[in-house]
Amino acid sequence: MSVTLPLDHGHLQKLVTADLVRPDQLLGAHVTTEGGAAGVRFAVWAPNAQHVSVVGDWNGWNGFDHPMQRLEFGYWGAFVVGAQHGQRYKFRVTGADGRTVDKADPYGAFFETRPATSSIIWDQDYTWSDENWMKGRSQGFDQAVSIYECHAPSWRRREDGWFLNYRELAHELGEYLTDLGYTHVELLGVMEHPYDPSWGYQVTGYYAPTSRMGSPEDFKYFVNHLHSLGLGVILDWVPGHFPTDDFALAHFDGSPLYEYADPRKGYHYDWNTYIFDYGRNEVVMFLIGSALKWLQDYHVDGLRVDAVASMLYLDFSRTDWVPNIHGGRENLEAVAFLKRLNEVVHHMAPGCTIVAEESTAFPGVTTPTPFGLGFDYKWAMGWMNDNLHYIGLDPVYRKFDHHKLTFFNVYRTTENYVLAISHDEVVHGKSALVSKFPGDWYAQRAGYRAFLAMMWTTPGKKLLFMGQEFAQGNEWNEAVGLPWHMLDIPEHRGVLNLVRDLNRLYRERPDWHVGDNREDGMLWISADDTESSVYAYVRRDYLSNHWSLVVSNMTPVYRENYTIGVPQGGEYRVILNTDDGQYGGYGTQQTSLTAVEEGWHGQTHHLCLNLAPNSALVLEAVRDVIVSEER
């Protein structure tokens, strides 16, 4: 059952002074008793409202029956005898502008399914069984973190076209991801929102899972079940902006309240959304309380914070903007909010992971506070842009942009990175990932497999959007389920087999993940063969000195007896070949895997390898020894 705090001076004051990090335990709708009578206590923040009443199923939506009392600091409260769990309600607010609007509860725990917008009184218990998981969860800095980004409403649909229930999703998605060896699922579109094509990024219920797929308890079952399978759950979270829908947060009390009053600071013209006022303590507590609700009450393991750059910069996507007090472009209030968010979360929900989708060079995103923003990870947007630019080139011209694939190595240790190929890259005319590659269908798949192998062997945690694991050919469409019939086609099944093996090796091999944020975690053997578009590098675990060699040929040209320097003699073995027949390739074989004692690429020995067109090889020495760190 939810915690209910007394609606008294002390707790209201804590909200005003930003000392109450779980305001949902004070505001919203709480099933309780007062004076021996059972009912529901309602509370809402509306400082500029002229009048507020609570309307719902119990009073026939009559605004005269249950007026709310004006409390201190701009809050309103009422206790309604007879109101109960499961009933719909709204706040009828006569605002400072004289308009009367029925508003959904900002702290609502459950909502009607769209297009209806009422909040629902919800207060049910749930019995968790993931105690051991909760005790052991961590940010996984030295662990394999492979994330499957999933839009839950469109991952798979029922036969009648409706969404899976969270409980159905738990078993079907859980079994699928376990088979593929993922460590985490990241869900977008989970928090309540009115418009399906927004994918859940225009949130109206910051404290509620969408009712499209079931109840709050159904969602808790989903998280609990995935934990039982060893899978972590990350949610996309949107504290940067909110929609202009009249029933929700917009002009909540007839004036700008949750949003900045000045549209040059408080309105996104590109997205038709309002920007939160990070200078108001009540707004900061609203957002931090939302984060903690998911991490504490729903046992979610992490949040990916959406559109951080839009929060950090006052001139983000605008020409008319207001400088900060120092004349700069940074939103100092948003910077302070993000630091406070990360400090509170790491204290109140230890082991949880907070990831920034931040697309600029803002310094110290993953540096601990107070010197940095305090995030655990940052999406590697530069890596993503460089790689997608490169793979889209005709192979004839790739030599002119050869260092697009090596530039990440210049800055990869400045932050803790997630290598993300997300939903944003496979919609709005951008095509599915495999379709970005030039050439015929075979060349596209071959190049795609090589790209995946390089992604999984490049330092940084991994994220791949759903459908790309089996080379979905068409763009993602949120209105229908994934084209699962493609798994009956060998060419698509082969890519799925590769992703499964990449995840297995990634988890099994410390050299692929332990040294992600260390310079010696990745050592280039050959980074400058622009004419051949061949790349070679070593991934190394600095703790055990285990290592592997990655060689990738990014052209459709077969290269026989291609010479690659290696740091030791003896026999080598192939541990992954993206040209293998089980992945849809031709199965190119090696003539010899015995290193020749002749220096090459600054190494003491060399191998002569057969490199299939558009392919990647991963090899290891039969006997591991220390790799030279001179390069």
Phi, psi for residue 53 in degrees, rounded to 5:
-130, 160
Q: Alpha-carbon distance 158 to 98, whole Å? A: 46
- Range 511-517 average pLDDT: 93
Q: What is the mean pLDDT of the chain?
A: 95
- Is the pLDDT at 545 greater than 90? The verdict is no
Cis peptide before 370 (omega within 30 of 0): yes
The DSSP H or E segment spanning 80 is: strand 75-81
Cβ-count burial of 370 within 10 angstroms (0-12 exposed, 13-18 middle, 19+ buried)? exposed
- Range 23-48 average pLDDT: 96
Phi, psi for residue 628 in degrees, rounded to 5:
-60, 135
pLDDT attached to residue 601: 94
Tokens representing 392 are: 């889209």
Identity of the residue numbered 81: V
Encode pLDDT of 570-579 as tens digits. Answer: 999 999 999 9
Neighbours of 213 (CB within 10 A): 22
pLDDT attached to residue 161: 87
pLDDT attached to residue 189: 85
Residue with tokens 């997630």: 418
- Is the pLDDT at 591 greater than 80? The verdict is yes
Q: Alpha-carbon distance 629 to 421, whole Å? A: 31
pLDDT attached to residue 259: 98
pLDDT attached to residue 630: 42
Please enumerate in sequence order all residues whose Cβ is within 8 A of that of 543, keeping only pairs 6 or more positions apart, or say none. 510, 514
- Range 487-505 average pLDDT: 97
Global confidence as pTM: 0.95
Measured at the CA of 150, the angle between CA 149 and CA 155, to 5 degrees, comes to: 150
- Is the pLDDT at 624 greater than 60? The verdict is no
- Range 30-43 average pLDDT: 95
- Is the pLDDT at 92 greater than 70? The verdict is yes
- Is the pLDDT at 629 greater than 90? The verdict is no
Read off the pLDDT band of 2 (50, 70, 90).
confident
Q: Alpha-carbon distance 61 to 103, whole Å? A: 12
DSSP string, 184-245: EEEEES-EE-S-GGGTT-S-SEEEEE-GGG--HHHHHHHHHHHHHTT-EEEEEE--S-EE--
- How far does CA 206 lie from the centroid of its chain? 16
| In contact, 540 and 626? CB cutoff 8 Å | no
Cis peptide before 115 (omega within 30 of 0): yes
- Range 164-185 average pLDDT: 98
Q: Alpha-carbon distance 181 to 95, whole Å? A: 53
3-state class (DSSP) for residue 488: helix
> Catalytic residues, which ones?
306, 357
| In contact, 525 and 565? CB cutoff 8 Å | yes
Neighbours of 326 (CB within 10 A): 8
Tokens representing 274 are: 């309002």
Phi, psi for residue 487 in degrees, rounded to 5:
-70, -10
Encode pLDDT of 182-236 as tens digits. Answer: 999 999 989 999 999 999 999 999 999 999 999 999 999 999 999 999 999 999 9
Q: Alpha-carbon distance 428 to 449, whole Å? A: 24
Measured at the CA of 571, the angle between CA 569 and CA 574, to 5 degrees, comes to: 120
DSSP-assigned letter for residue 163 = B
Q: Alpha-carbon distance 191 to 212, whole Å? A: 10
- Range 158-179 average pLDDT: 96
Beta bridge partners of 587: none
Phi, psi for residue 240 in degrees, rounded to 5:
-90, -25
pLDDT attached to residue 626: 47
Q: Alpha-carbon distance 631 to 118, whole Å? A: 62
pLDDT attached to residue 1: 59
Encode pLDDT of 365-376 as tens digits. Answer: 999 999 999 999
3-state class (DSSP) for residue 246: coil
Give the HSE-up count for residue 554: Cα atoms under 13 Å, Cβ half-sphere. 32
Read off the pLDDT band of 480 (50, 70, 90).
very high
Q: Alpha-carbon distance 162 to 481, whole Å? A: 10
- Range 110-121 average pLDDT: 97
Q: Alpha-carbon distance 16 to 37, whole Å? A: 30
Residue with tokens 């959304």: 273
3-state class (DSSP) for residue 425: helix
| In contact, 31 and 40? CB cutoff 8 Å | yes
| In contact, 57 and 88? CB cutoff 8 Å | yes
| In contact, 322 and 314? CB cutoff 8 Å | yes
Encode pLDDT of 13-25 as tens digits. Answer: 999 999 999 999 9
- Inter-residue long-range contacts of 487-491, CB under 8 Å, 24+ positions, other chains counted: 490/584, 491/441, 491/445, 491/584
- Range 457-478 average pLDDT: 96
Q: Alpha-carbon distance 419 to 378, whole Å? A: 9
Selection from 184, 198, 208, 384 nearest residue 304 by Cα: 184
pLDDT attached to residue 606: 96
